[in-house]
Amino acid sequence: MVSLRHTVLLTPVPRAWPADALAVALDVVEATRPEADGRLVLPDGRPVPDVRLTGGRHLARGAVYEVEPGAGVARDGGPETVPDTGPKAHGAPASAVGDTVTPALEGHPAAAAGDTAREARPGDAGRTGRTGGTGSHPGRTAHAPREPAAGGSGEAAAPEHSGHPERVRVSVEEWNRRRALRLGVTTTGPEGEITADFALRAPDRPRVVEVAGRAHLAGVMPLLSRFEGRALLRFDDWWEAADTGRTSRSAPLRARLRCGAARADLRATPRPGPEGTWQVTVTARIRGRHLFRPVAALVLAFVHAHLRRAFADGLERMARDWNEEAPRLTAMPADALRREMLKDV
């Protein structure tokens, strides 16, 4: 077993701020409305790019959303246009209406039906060729072989990557701001599939957030291809420890990650630091599992020093980012925070 430990100083966050920021975020989400084709629209009329409601009623239990980068409406709010199918610069293939359907959609006819009506974006000409636009599926139009562009090498441009484009599916299991928010998220792409369940208790006054997930990675040796993990944050225990130094029997933030050969356990506990900061101590324990314990112990002994440096460096980078962003965000009034959330939409 390897045990790692490092302490960082963080700018504190006011105890009321997470509830206030979450309320702004939920207000923004609940102010969106779905159109007939499933696209989501903000109160000011701007579309939410790349996201569609493909099943159920908006924000009700059973609602399903599909998120595919590059597949949304134009950011200027104008209608989508089908790009010219002629040769592009540098031999890039033109895009066609629609993309290949990922396995995540095959069990959801409503999602697939909504997706076939999608039109391509002008900026997707190169992306379709890279992310599997040449694949076939019932009801889809396959790309025809391209003629070489004038002055080209005489060969059709080959896509950079094969396989399906990355796609995210979000399902609503519960949406009640007094009781709980529960979401299921599945991300499918060339690198594999990740599934996660998120639960936030009492969103109007956040108390506990839980995340549980599983991953199946492609192109990785079997022992390391499947992961499962879980994380838990108890807000009240965090602020009690950060304000007074008194901690409960278990850390307010803890996580566990397991694969076939090893397991890692992480704990984070705050206490009052100098000049009003949070002094957060993070510990991680890594050990082998089952028959792999002797081999894992030998490997971990060789890489212990490297792991310790990487662990400390990673936490220091995260602390720098936190200390830059936390004062800026916590100083914003609700209207400014809302604008910050919407600035890239």
CA of 95: how far to CAs of 115, 231, 289, 318, in Å? 16, 41, 48, 39
Q: What is the dihedral of CA 170, 176, 181, 182, to 10 degrees?
A: -60
Residue 271 CA to residue 244 CA, distance in Å, equals 7
Question: Residue 137 and residue 247: Cα distance in Å, rounded?
Answer: 56
Helical ranges in 124-196 per DSSP H: 125-130
Distances from the Cα of 216 to the Cαs of 10, 167, 186, 189, 257, in angstroms? 34, 15, 11, 11, 13
Q: Are 164 and 188 in contact (CB under 8 A)?
A: yes
Cβ–Cβ < 8 Å for 40, 51: yes
At residue 142 the predicted structure's pLDDT band, cuts being 50, 70 and 90, is very low
What per-residue confidence (pLDDT) applies to 137? Answer: 41
Torsion sign, CA atoms 41, 43, 46, 49: negative
Quick one: which of 330, 245, 326 has its CA closest to 280?
245
0.85 exceeded by pTM = no
Instruction: List, for residues 269-302, the tens digit of each pLDDT value.
Output: 999 999 999 999 999 999 888 777 777 777 778 8
Q: What was the pLDDT predicted at 108?
A: 42
pLDDT in tens, 83-95: 444 444 444 444 3
